[in-house]
Amino acid sequence: MKPENNNLENNISRLVKLAGDSNQPPKGFTDSLINKAIDELSQQPGSATRERKSKFMTANKQLKIFAYAASILLVCGVLISAMLPSLSRTREYSKPTAMLGKEKQYTLPTGLESQQQPQTQAMSQVEQKGTNGSTASAPPLEYTQGGNKPLVASDMKSVRLLDKAERLGEPTGQPADHFMVMTKRDADVRGVRGYGVSGEARCIMPYPPPCKPPMAHGGSKLPNGEDVDAMFFKNYGVNPFIDTEDDHLSTFAMDVDTASYTLIRGYLHDGHIPPNDGVRVEEFVNYFKYNYPAPKKDDFAVYSEASPWQFGTNRNNSYLLRLGLKARQISEENRKPAILTFVIDVSGSMAREDRLGLVKKSLRLLIDNLKPEDKIGIAVYQTRGRKVMDYKGLVEKDDILAAIDSLSADGSTNAEEGIRIGYEMAERAYKPGYINRVILCTDGVANEGQTAAADILKVIKDKADKGITLSAIGFGMGNYNDVLLEQLGDKGNGHYAYVDTIAEAKRIFEENLIGTLQLIAKDAKVQVDFNPDVVRSYRLVGYENRDVPDEKFRDDKYDGGEVGAGHSVTALYEIKLWPEKKGKVATTYVRYKNADTGVVTEFKSEFNTNQLNRSFDDSSKQFRLAATVAEFAEILRNSYWAKGATLEPILHQAQTLSGEFRGDADVIELVDLVSKAQQLMLKSPAQPVEDSQSE
């Protein structure tokens, strides 16, 4: 048996060498395995007959082979168990090296350019520490933002490897294999969560991206029912020119939302050309104050003005018609008492100073301007929704502020549950004759529960009809759902605004508080009847997503817009007139429900050719401001009707207007925004215009 023992030892040694490990098991270990196998083989019962002995010899031989195989498998198992940790670390860091030559397969975010290094180039190492304290090295990945100094991963002192549950964009239970490095600011703007990074200068995300778009802030469902979870906008198209002989009626719902302007302002201030779909012309126009005189008796006053079209190219016989409506104003003393339910998003995506931090500052402003009889309740949501504070008045102001200050952000985003809890609170606290308003403060991204706008709208539809209205106030950039918030504001019979600075918060919660809270009109609609004998064709500038079928204008069950006290609504039409024709240009009809009584009112106003201004320069400064802002928006959204237009005349007109509107911070800022947009567009290649109908 001695030769067989030597042969087994040699086989085990060869197996160890083939496994890639120079260390052999101790001799005592292998001897014990061999002796155990020999003992088992030798402990077999004898036989009285030769035939039975022959059978036992055959069985012994088979058992001996089996013992040898079992011994080899046992040794292999021990060796593999010892080698697994180092093999795992090798796998964890081998892929970034292999991918360095393929970086262009991943499209980096705007402004973040990959600086590819040849694989043959010597690379410094970056120490990365695992959660178990182990360390490993990986080649550096280098990126630069704009013209700034390149950021190299090797500059980082340590990066914590993620636990499986934390890793970004992975199927359940599957680890993310490797990561790319980007600036924290770029990650924040684009909604990418940073993990365990030393200091605040860097964050990491999976590299290359997984097959499905990663969810930026956790959750089990993609927000908005879509395939991505960064910035959500919707393309509503561009209104075409319509011949009056085909259709002489234009009908739309009143809208005083302004969120699009403040959102796009953020893009420009940050040095980015805004997405076309984020630009809604009517919200740009309605952001500015035109100082329409408020009616003294009626709920609305209408103001009309028109002049030859100033901007664009290939415009013949073209005029711009402005329709301005001003709602009745209400004094602070006459404002109704309010029962306000704050529904605040405290999910992980809100964990920034310009999100939850700005929400807290905004609510402090609102509380400082409330009346003693007003009541405030607070609900929040993250992975689940919950009530934080039952309704309290200003006599308990310290308790209200303490509840607001205690809020912190974490978890995923179950907006549906939070909104439902807020409405349940508002229903229980409802009082006739009061302002019963839910104020939603969020970045709008939902990734738990129902996530699509249509699903969440079901929660609030019947509540709005019962008198509990909704204000949707958006915060944050990079992980923001414009689609959901706009629809919530519209269908909740309230309004939609976006807060990017404390100054904008003051505008909404301090300067325009009465108009923000108290409605004058519900389901307000406008229908313009163009005279085919004078007007050849027309197009409504903006309001694409507020279109109302002409036959629904007098259907009082059909949803319109809501207008607050003192608010103004401005709409613009580009019209083409028949040569030498005189007379009535258009009749404007306004139809709405009184917010208090529900009584339906309709009135009309006419505009004639003898009211046309001779030239654009002869127009009022308010008219020229609205026209300038509208054309600025048309160019930004790459409208077909801005084809060939440039920002140079827009900038010149804005500069002129800033001198006429002395001290108006909004007009002064407009000059800066147009200038920034012009510089960005000069650096960027021209984009194709939106498809639309031409005449």
Instruction: Assess whether pLDDT exceeds 80 at residue 375.
Output: yes
Instruction: Assess whether pLDDT exceeds 70 at residue 292.
Output: yes
Does residue 428 share a domain with residue 359?
yes
Does residue 556 share a domain with residue 486?
no
Contacts of residue 538, Cβ cutoff 8 Å, sequence gap at least 6: 241, 242, 244, 250, 528, 530, 573, 574, 575, 576
Q: Which of 66, 92, 118 is the last residue of a domain?
A: 92
Q: How far apart are CA 146 and CA 150, in angstroms?
A: 9
Q: Provide the percentage of residues in the chain whose pLDDT is more than 90.
A: 44
Residue 553 or 123, more confident: 553
pLDDT of residue 383: 87
Q: How far apart are CA 27 and CA 607, in angstroms?
A: 106
The alpha carbon of residue 196 and the mean position of all alpha carbons in its chain are separated, in whole angstroms, by 24
pLDDT of residue 230: 58
* Residue 10, token pair as written in the block: 């040699």
Q: What average pLDDT does the segment 634-639 reach?
A: 94
Q: Which of 92, 124, 148 is the last residue of a domain?
A: 92
pLDDT of residue 395: 92
> Average model confidence (pLDDT) for the chain?
74
pLDDT of residue 214: 40
Q: Among 62-76, 189-203, 208-222, 230-244, name the most confident range.
A: 230-244
Residue 685 or 278, more confident: 278
Range of the domain at 83: 2-92
pLDDT of residue 409: 87
Does residue 452 share a domain with residue 598?
no
Q: How far apart are CA 473 and CA 483, in angstroms?
A: 13
The answer to the question of residue 689 being in a domain is: no
Q: Provide the percentage of residues in the chain whose pLDDT is more than 70.
A: 63
Q: What average pLDDT does the segment 167-192 reach?
A: 38
pLDDT of residue 551: 96
3-state secondary structure of 389: strand
Q: What average pLDDT does the segment 187-207 reach?
A: 36
Instruction: Assess whether pLDDT exceeds 70 at residue 507.
Output: yes
The answer to the question of residue 169 being in a domain is: yes
* Residue 115, token pair as written in the block: 């600086």
- Tell me the CATH number at 395: 3.40.50.410
pLDDT of residue 460: 79
Q: What average pLDDT does the segment 55-80 reach?
A: 62
The answer to the question of residue 226 being in a domain is: no
Minimum mean pLDDT range among 330-334, 400-404, 432-436, 685-689: 685-689
Longest dimension (CA), the chain: 133
pLDDT of residue 78: 58
- Reported as a single tens digit per residue, the pLDDT across 381-425 is 988 999 999 999 999 999 999 999 999 988 887 888 888 899 999
Q: For residue 332, what are the CA distances in angstroms to 151, 251, 335, 467, 514?
A: 54, 34, 5, 21, 7
3-state secondary structure of 364: helix
Does residue 71 share a domain with residue 47?
yes
Q: In angstroms, how far is the first alpha carbon of the chain from the final one? A: 102
Query: DSSP character for 286?
Result: T
Contacts of residue 39, Cβ cutoff 8 Å, sequence gap at least 6: none
**Structure-token match 């805004």, residue found:** 274
Q: Indicate the pLDDT class of residue 487, thresholds 50, 70 and 90.
A: confident
- Reported as a single tens digit per residue, the pLDDT across 652-686 is 999 999 999 998 999 999 999 999 999 999 887 55
Q: How far apart are CA 437 and CA 292, in angstroms?
A: 27
pLDDT of residue 153: 35
Instruction: Assess whether pLDDT exceeds 80 at residue 200.
Output: no
The answer to the question of residue 690 being in a domain is: no
pLDDT of residue 539: 96
Q: How far apart are CA 633 and CA 628, in angstroms?
A: 9
Does residue 524 share a domain with residue 499?
no
Element (H, E) at 300: strand 300-308
The answer to the question of residue 99 being in a domain is: no
Q: How far apart are CA 198 and CA 304, in angstroms?
A: 60
Look at the pTM and tell me if it is higher than 0.85: no
Does residue 379 share a domain with residue 312?
no
- Reported as a single tens digit per residue, the pLDDT across 588-619 is 999 999 998 999 999 999 999 999 999 999 99
Does residue 652 share a domain with residue 552?
yes
Q: For residue 451, what are the CA distances in angstroms to 216, 264, 350, 480, 483?
A: 15, 24, 17, 13, 12
Does residue 65 share a domain with residue 171?
no
Does residue 511 share a domain with residue 448?
yes
363 beta partners: none
Other Cβ atoms closer than 10 A to 397: 14
* SS3 assignment for 470-491: EEEEEECCCCEEHHHHHHHHHH
Strands (E), 448-543: 468-475, 480-481, 495-499, 519-530, 535-541
Q: Which of 501, 517, 533 is the last residue of a domain?
A: 517
The answer to the question of residue 272 being in a domain is: yes
Backbone phi and psi for residue 420, each to the nearest 5 degrees, phi listed first: -60, -45
- Helix, strand, coil shares of the chain, percent, nearest 5, are 40, 25, 40
Instruction: Assess whether pLDDT exceeds 50 at residue 106.
Output: no
501 beta partners: none
In one-letter notation, the amino acid at residue 249 is L
pLDDT of residue 315: 76
**Secondary structure (DSSP) of 309-363:** --SSSS--SEEEEEEEEEEPP--TTTSPPEEEEEEEE-SGGG-SIIIIIHHHHHH
The answer to the question of residue 52 being in a domain is: yes
Q: Which residue in 355, 394, 362, 363 sits closest to 502, CA to CA?
A: 362
Q: For residue 508, what are the CA distances in angstroms to 150, 177, 475, 483, 511?
A: 40, 46, 13, 20, 6
Does residue 180 share a domain with residue 265?
no
Backbone phi and psi for residue 452, each to the nearest 5 degrees, phi listed first: -80, 150
Q: What average pLDDT does the segment 92-99 reach?
A: 34
Q: What average pLDDT does the segment 459-478 reach?
A: 81
Q: Which residue in 350, 503, 352 sits closest to 441, CA to CA?
A: 350
Does residue 596 share a domain with residue 614?
yes
pLDDT of residue 576: 95
Q: Among 35-44, 174-183, 458-467, name the most confident range.
A: 458-467
Instruction: Assess whether pLDDT exceeds 60 at residue 15.
Output: no
Does residue 462 share a domain with residue 413?
yes
Domain count, the chain: 4
Q: What average pLDDT does the segment 157-170 reach?
A: 33
Instruction: Assess whether pLDDT exceeds 60 at residue 219.
Output: no
The answer to the question of residue 691 being in a domain is: no
